[in-house]
Structure 1
């Protein structure tokens, strides 16, 4: 399935807020990469010391698994489905539905493209 929205490759995203039950928050930054339907990102900031995600994109839907290390020294992993949209100002947004696989909990969140200065 093709998308009218551009590749995520080389884009930076930041969370809109910190969801209940999550560790990613406004201080976290995601550096996305995309090639031939494969998507991956490194992220850090806020409560997250280091995180990685890897998955696939089909049209405007991104499916991935993530693993991260928090400031308390705990690791956690989960699964996320994100839907890509374009904001009124032209930036991209990912609306996410996620669930932990390594512990109880699930929720929704959103990340938005951070434009370079």
Structure 2
């Protein structure tokens, strides 16, 4: 049985990419930006601590502690799915959300200016 394309390209059997939309009222933007900025500030500190303070050294100076330290550092800081990478990905998402809020705020402002201009034109007739 043939699958329908629906304009999305060939059916690969995998779900389409997720698209997340959040409707934000203009009045909520400053408090959202403040919340995101606060979270980002805390996260920046945690990332800095992870980079400078989390790495461990072989505490007993023997091969077992050497191996344990290497594994801990790899898992915490260096591997592709490390805790540090997860924090950095979250940091990028917060920055992206803040950029999106700025764009939405600019769009609201532009629409408001357009509407004000139209109201002025209609009132002048």
Which interval holds the TM-score relative to the shorter structure?
A: under 0.3
More helix by share: 2
More strand by share: 1
Larger Rg: 2
TM-score (normalizing by structure 2): 0.18
